Structure 1
Amino acid sequence: MSVPEWVGDIPTWIGAGGALGAAWFAYQTITSQRQQIGEQQVFIADQTQFMDEQRQNLELEREELRAVAEDRRTAQAKRVKMHSRKAGASTDGQGVATPDDHWVVTVLNESDAPIRQVEVRFGSAYNSAEVYEWNTGWNLAGGPRSSDRLLQLVDFIGPGRAVRFESQRYSSAAVHNNRPVLFFSDENDARWALSARGNLGASRQEPGNPPPAE
């Protein structure tokens, strides 16, 4: 019996079957590779998101640590208070009011540790004219002076203690233009400046010397 012509020869069919198998294998391989690439892309995306979240968490932790360190660094300095007022207004013999002509500044150490090298400067060039120990039971705006007069640069103010600084006498315009600034060192020898408006900041001023020009 002869083989029908539409069947073709056997080698051709074998070759066609092999080609079909190879094509199917290649298709399966490509499909598998695409699936693996897709899974790898998903994995990489997940890892990238995880790493980004970790980075954000680390940044938050660093910010919190910096905030804690800053609070610890400024804790004592924030408990040093300065009360300042203009003084000297009175009336002359004819009942005419005279203007305020000097500053009176009371420095109170409310912290639990001493502060050192304490001084008050008025404007950029004037030292205190008179410095006295101060009784914290007295009103900050009044009260008598103690008999203990101190140097312009007070070496030590203990916890709960106060010192009063007074400026020299100026014209009324000069009083306004020469507001007091308190300089002191905390227990860690960090140097601070506290303005009459309550602004606290680190200072490069050396004790006994004017602040360096910015």
Structure 2
Amino acid sequence: MGPADWGDVPTWIGGAGALAAGWFAYQTIKSQREQIGEQQAFIAEQTQFMDDQRQNLELERAGLRAAAEERRVSQARQIKRSFDTWGGHGDDVYGPTGYSAWRVEVRNNSADPVHDVTVKFGESYTPASARENEGFHHPDGGRRSVPVELIPAGHTVVFESPHWEEATVDNNRPVLLFTDAAGVRWRHDSYGKLEEVPADGAS
């Protein structure tokens, strides 16, 4: 048996070159994978950052909208109204009869005036009279035409309905209508619901 054949020098050089090339390719792929991983992590961080920013902007916008809405309805909420019924008896061709009417007190607790103020009773009845609650200070007793053109800050106006039979007065419950200082028309019903009147004026 002779000595082992380890090949010639060119074969060794070729094998070493192939090994080096393989090692270099492996390192290149490894480096590329690390770079891709870093890029993916960076993209994920940026995506999360942008998502956080978007959520923050949405919260800020929601807060601004809520603040704007609060400012929009602030004056309307300060227009206070109270109401009750009062009645008496009169005579007609059939003898003594009972009657009843609504008395609605509207007070402007805001810092600005309100305009075009009236009360609607039932579907279509308008007030029989309106006067300033501080009417004794006025020569005319504080009487005002309806709708009341303006109620200044801190003032109160009392509206009275027509007279009805006591049995039917509740069918004509009062609804307050007014325009705030910003020109928005509001409706406040006898159950406490405050809402903006549509632009077409339906109420």
Please state which band the TM-score falls in when normalised by the shorter chain.
0.7 to 0.9
Amino acid of the structure 1 residue aligned with 2:163: R
The answer to whether the 8 A contact 2:135-2:142 is kept is: no
Amino acid of the structure 1 residue aligned with 2:183: D
Q: What does 1:133-212 align with in structure 2 at a 5 Å threshold?
A: 133-135=132-134, 147-204=141-198, 211-212=201-202
- State yes or no: 1:39 paired with 2:38: yes
The answer to whether the 8 A contact 1:116-1:157 is kept is: yes
Residue matched to 1:61: 60
Cα separation, 2, equivalents of 1:50 and 1:40: 15
Structure 1 position 90, deviation (Å): 6.9
Amino acid of the structure 1 residue aligned with 2:202: P
Amino acid of the structure 1 residue aligned with 2:47: T
Unaligned runs of 5+ in 2: 92-96
The answer to whether the 8 A contact 2:134-2:142 is kept is: no
The answer to whether the 8 A contact 2:118-2:146 is kept is: yes
Question: In structure 2, do the counterparts of structure 1 residues 179 and 46 end up closer, same or farther at CA, with 3 Å as the change threshold?
Answer: same
**Greater alpha carbon shift after TM alignment, 154-163 vs 61-70:** 61-70
Unaligned runs of 5+ in 1: 93-97, 138-145
Normalising by structure 2, we get a TM-score of 0.85
Question: In structure 2, do the counterparts of structure 1 residues 6 and 179 end up closer, same or farther at CA, with 3 Å as the change threshold?
Answer: farther
Count of matched residue pairs = 193
Residue matched to 2:114: 115
Cα separation, 2, equivalents of 1:169 and 1:48: 70
Amino acid of the structure 2 residue aligned with 1:110: N
Cα separation, 2, equivalents of 1:9 and 1:200: 101
Amino acid of the structure 2 residue aligned with 1:182: L
**Greater alpha carbon shift after TM alignment, 174-183 vs 115-124:** 174-183
Query: Root-mean-square deviation (CA), in Å?
Result: 2.5
Structure 1 moving runs of 4+ over 4 Å? 89-92
Normalising by structure 1, we get a TM-score of 0.81
The answer to whether the 8 A contact 2:100-2:166 is kept is: yes
The answer to whether the 8 A contact 2:84-2:103 is kept is: yes
Amino acid of the structure 1 residue aligned with 2:71: R
Cα separation, 2, equivalents of 1:197 and 1:157: 23
Cα separation, 2, equivalents of 1:136 and 1:19: 110
Cα separation, 1, equivalents of 2:58 and 2:191: 34
The answer to whether the 8 A contact 2:80-2:106 is kept is: yes
